[in-house]
A and B are shown apart, each in its own frame.
Chain A
Amino acid sequence: MRMALTLGGALAGLALAAAVLSAVWTPYDAGQMAIADKLRPPSAAHWFGTDHFGRDILSMAMLGAQTSMAVALVAVVIGMGLGVPLGLLAAARRGTWVDEIVMRGNDLVFAFPSLVIAILITAVRGPSALNAMIAIGIFNIPVFARVTRGAALPVWVLDYIRAARVSGKGAGLISLQHVLPNIAGLLIVQATIQFSLGILAEAGLSYVGLGAQPPTPSWGRMLAEAQTMVTLAPHVAVIPGLCILLTVLGLNLLGDGLRDALDPRLRVPR
């Protein structure tokens, strides 16, 4: 259990550190081409080798971490910013038409496969990292609304909530002061899960050309560009894929570890 938290924290921390560091420093200029050095395998000069334009893959992967994390983070913020208030509202007005409308609206968005939402949005607004954020964010809204409502409902029947009501507090204030702090742990865990799903989704969208556009490096586009090169120089495809795999794995382990640490009642029996 501790191991999940440590390993997850280390992997996710490494990706985060690379993303932050890339804002001020990368080993090489990620856009700098050197055709004479193309498709070089990993070496002391280029730890991750070079791609078909001779660009340094480590520098590109570091900037790719920045793109992935920025997109996934904003998507989580969009999802939480709209989904959590909706879920709190539905729980506070449970059984009424407000609850019904919020939940049916959720079902409606949920019935659209996430990729189709993303494709529709990028078709309307054009492909870009920003639109990938919006597309993944919209998919996150019903997830957070559902989780929030589901977790808030049992809190609403507890004695101290009744006491708060008797003392004259309104539903909005109770939701903010008493319900939200009680379900915060669960929301943090869900946020790590959606964050890791966001990274996978961003990679997928960029891979089909709907995410970050050149010259912004992104793991998904690095993989798309590597596809034709994979037989000549497998490292071009293996490294961005490993970046995605290890980051998502780290975040998932971190989510599991946090869930156990924050709320022992949610612990999955081992």
Chain B
Amino acid sequence: MLRYLSRRMIVLGLSLLAASALIFSVTELVPGDPASFMLGTGAQPETLAALRQQMGLDRPLPLRYAAWAGAILQGDFGTSFTYRTPVGAMIAQRLQVSLPLALMALALAVAVALPVGLYGAARRGRAGGGLAMGATQLGIALPNFWFAMLLVLVFAVRLRWLPAGGFPGWSDPGAALKSLILPVVALALPQAAILARVLRSALVETQAQDYIRTARAKGLTSGQTLRRHALRNALIPVLTILGMQFSFLLAGAIIIENVFSLPGLGRMIFQAITQRDLIVVQSAVLVLVAAVNAVTFLVDLAYGAVDPRLRRA
């Protein structure tokens, strides 16, 4: 286990190193010089040169990469060209929206997918099961930003129950939660559909196993075997998908953040690119990739918790 862990940690470190180099070189290709972007078109060449030097843009690429990566290792994500504030603080502030959004969407997706998947597996081959799976097909095909628009139309414009967009901040937790309800639903339902399908097919596969037949022979009902025996064994593929979904929800919420004008991490990256605020783009994308890698790592560890056979491997 310890050898496995240390090997995984090394792989994690190497992939972050490779990712950081890739992010840095790609963002360097973005046309437009941040210094001239900051000063505008009428800037004097001397002022431009001075600012480029101050920002370190006149140094060669490998040196700039080394300086950026070295600073990040010490917890310094740089200073935004546009806002002149530390990027680390900006990311932390945006995570206050993105992280709760992703976690609540994931929780809702699980809460919906679990009963639907269980029902679909229990009612396999019958009308109810077919209906549940038909609904998940619709859910998977649903573009989440369109669904978000429809939700706004019904719950914000017509019924006026919830705000159509914006985020008031966590100083008023009630209002903050209220403004996140529609985005969470828009993000969660398509994900719940994917999760329910994966859960159902995993459950159906485990139901063909001998121990399920034994449990049935002992007198458990099919619902009991499903919940007590099959569910736990079907969790491995579900965990894999959950890990991928969390990464998607953290970063892929850009479009939903746009629909609801939420100040999240995705929207910050989006705006920073249009403003040529490269340091913000580089650091924020790296944080996202690190989060994806960390989640994959945690999911691998969770496999062992769910399935004791995998601990020995």
Contacts and interface: CB of A to CB of B under 8 A. Distances in A.
Interface of A: 104, 107-108, 111-116, 119-120, 123-124, 196, 200, 203-204, 207-208, 223, 226-227, 230-231, 234, 237-238, 240-241, 244-246, 248-249, 252-253, 268-270
Contact of B137 (A116, A204, A227, A253): A253
A119 B271 CA distance: 10
Given A108-B19, A223-B145, A207 B255 contact: yes
14 contacts: A111-B19, A113-B252, A113-B292, A119-B273, A120-B27, A123-B27, A124-B26, A203-B143, A204-B255, A223-B143, A223-B146, A237-B149, A270-B125, A270-B204
- Interface size class, chain B: 35 or more
Nearest to B203: A269
Contact of A252 (B140, B255, B273): B140
A243 B201 CA distance: 28
B254 interface: yes
Closest 7 CB pairs of A and B: A113-B251, A241-B146, A248-B141, A249-B141, A123-B273, A269-B204, A124-B29
A244 B146 contact: yes
B238 to A, nearest CB: 15
B252 A208 contact: no
Given A111-B289, A223-B145, A249-B138, 11 more contacts: A108-B18, A113-B250, A116-B269, A120-B26, A120-B281, A124-B29, A207-B255, A252-B137, A269-B124, A269-B201, A270-B204
A115 B255 contact: yes
B270 A119 contact: yes
B145 A111 contact: no
Most-contacted residue by chain B among A108, A111, A124, A196 (CB, 10 A): A111
Contacts of A196: 141
Q: Is the interface of B mostly helix, strand, loop or mixed?
A: helix
A108 B255 contact: no
B93 interface: no
A49 B142 CA distance: 22
B285 interface: yes
Interface in B24-45: 26-27, 29-31
Interface of B: 15, 18-19, 22, 26-27, 29-31, 124-125, 137-138, 140-143, 145-146, 149-150, 152-153, 157, 201, 204-205, 208, 247-248, 250-252, 254-255, 258-259, 266, 269-270, 273-274, 281, 285, 288-289, 292-293, 296
B110 to A, nearest CB: 20
B251 A115 contact: yes
Contacts of A108: 15, 18-19, 22
A251 to B, nearest CB: 8
A69 to B, nearest CB: 15
Contact of B292 (A111, A119, A223): A111
Contacts of B15: 104, 107-108, 111
Contacts of B141: 196, 200, 244-246, 248-249, 252
Contacts of B157: 230-231
A115 B293 CA distance: 17
Contacts of A231: 153, 157
A123 B141 CA distance: 28
B124 A270 contact: yes
B31 to A, nearest CB: 7
A107 B8 CA distance: 13
Contacts of A237: 146, 149-150, 153
A241 B269 CA distance: 26
A193 to B, nearest CB: 10
B230 to A, nearest CB: 13
Contacts of B292: 111-113
Nearest to B258: A208
B114 to A, nearest CB: 19
A104 B10 CA distance: 13
Contacts of B266: 115
B150 A241 contact: yes
Contacts of A245: 138, 141-143, 146
A244 B141 CA distance: 8
B297 to A, nearest CB: 11
A244 B255 CA distance: 16
A113 B143 contact: no
Given A108-B15, A115-B251, A116-B285, A123 B30 contact: yes
A58 B52 CA distance: 51
A35 B196 CA distance: 46
A241 B149 contact: yes
B24 to A, nearest CB: 11
B149 A269 contact: no
A269 B205 contact: yes
Contact of B143 (A114, A200, A252): A200
A177 to B, nearest CB: 33
A188 to B, nearest CB: 19
A247 B53 CA distance: 53
